[in-house]
Chain A
């Protein structure tokens, strides 16, 4: 019974997707819609197959920036959260700026960063980082504040140093929150990279997949553009699954969120 259930869980979304694709292909063929307006899924698959090496190389460029930005966001976000958690005054002074970072659309900051910084890799890194860092900051900060007050008293009772309290109590308490923030940041880092690529207007060899998507759409090679889109979506999904697996692995022994992973 349970096996049937899990099979259905995996199979149903796939079946649904295939059905939608089949209807799409059918609609394109029956109505004789030209490929430069709406290409059918088979044409997209064909484009994906024929230029796979080139597109995958471009995807590599995009993912490189995405992952670098995510790592940077993880480290600096956790660091900033620890800093903000040091005192209520520091938090009240600086947190509004973190919110500012979050609510400002990065597209509007991009032109300035492009003018001020020459290295295009650094520009994209900064923009992707700006998109990704806030969930890490706010979640980690929440986690640091959610440490069990009785455990805090216990640490005080046994004369724990600031460092001991940080490493043995605050950091583990904040870990599930930090990982939750990181899962959101993964997707945001990819979005940030894509936006940065599009705004920075990189092109030609060595440019990322989002640039290729724009190029293809300018030339009305919609099948190729959609192939880029499919690859980007797949990469984002994979990134989420990876971060989710990391979270499950780190928390499997103790946190409620990882309970289902128990045998």
Chain B
């Protein structure tokens, strides 16, 4: 595996995967060799059925797993400080307050204590948790815990934000609210976001581009541009255009799973 990083090439590509494949030690082929380029500042969703290797793909991009073939080139995110990762569970340290959890990446980087406090307060404010800094994780709801997790990922002002089914464990109301807030944050900051989900509605609502993966070994079977306005809000979910886009992705997923595709209703 090779990871190269350069600060040039701004404004074009953030991540380039060439021929990246992953076979586990037990011989299971998780990812068939694939090529993928992700534009800087874009919001990309990866969807697919369980076990299609979408989480593995994300972990390879994060350098948490080494590919068994091919190369990963990360242009916008040279250092770990430039990458934020959000897991499916909030993955907080239960013994530390919300503020201490958010401060973790800064502390691990050895930043001075006086610099940390205002940045943590700012990150908590951006996820709507001002005033909850001294709460312990068990005193917070599932949605609030996930907000702390997002604050921790954005506190380093990352260029690349990787999210692995972050809202899968939440109820639909909380999930919609977090989708709205995440979208607003992205529209302000324009990080490069790669968002893994198994919810088609979530993928279509959030992203500019949806990548559909097939079951094991994972490969990219469809790469769709979401044809929806750039500025989105929760009202969008109610419209026909949104339903149409969901149907498109849904059809691609059915094809990826080798199912018979039902006739699409005329739109």
Using CB atoms and an 8 Å cutoff, list the residues of chain A in contact with chain B. 148, 150-151, 153-160, 164, 168-169, 172, 175, 253-255
Contact = CB atoms under 8 A, between A and B. Distances in A.
Interface stretch (B80-88, B218-226, B232-240): B80-88
A148 B91 contact: yes
B177 interface: no
B105 interface: yes
Interface of B: 62-64, 80-81, 83, 85, 87, 89, 91, 93-96, 104-105, 107-109, 136-138
B91 A151 contact: yes
A245 to B, nearest CB: 19
Contacts of B107: 164, 168
Contacts of A169: 93
A151 B105 contact: no
A168 B91 CA distance: 14
Contacts, number: 51
Contact of B89 (A150, A157, A159, A168): A150
B85 A154 contact: yes
A253 B136 contact: yes
B129 to A, nearest CB: 18
Contacts of B80: 157-159
Contacts of B89: 150
A84 B104 CA distance: 27
Given A148-B91, A150-B89, A160 B64 contact: no
A155 B85 CA distance: 11
B111 to A, nearest CB: 11
Name which of B87, B94, B107 has the most chain A CB atoms within 10 A of its CB: B94
A194 B83 CA distance: 58
Contacts of A151: 91, 93
B109 A254 contact: no
Contacts of A156: 64
B95 A159 contact: no
A160 B83 CA distance: 14
B109 A159 contact: yes
B137 A168 contact: no
Contact of B95 (A150, A153, A164, A175): A175
Contacts of B104: 154, 158, 168
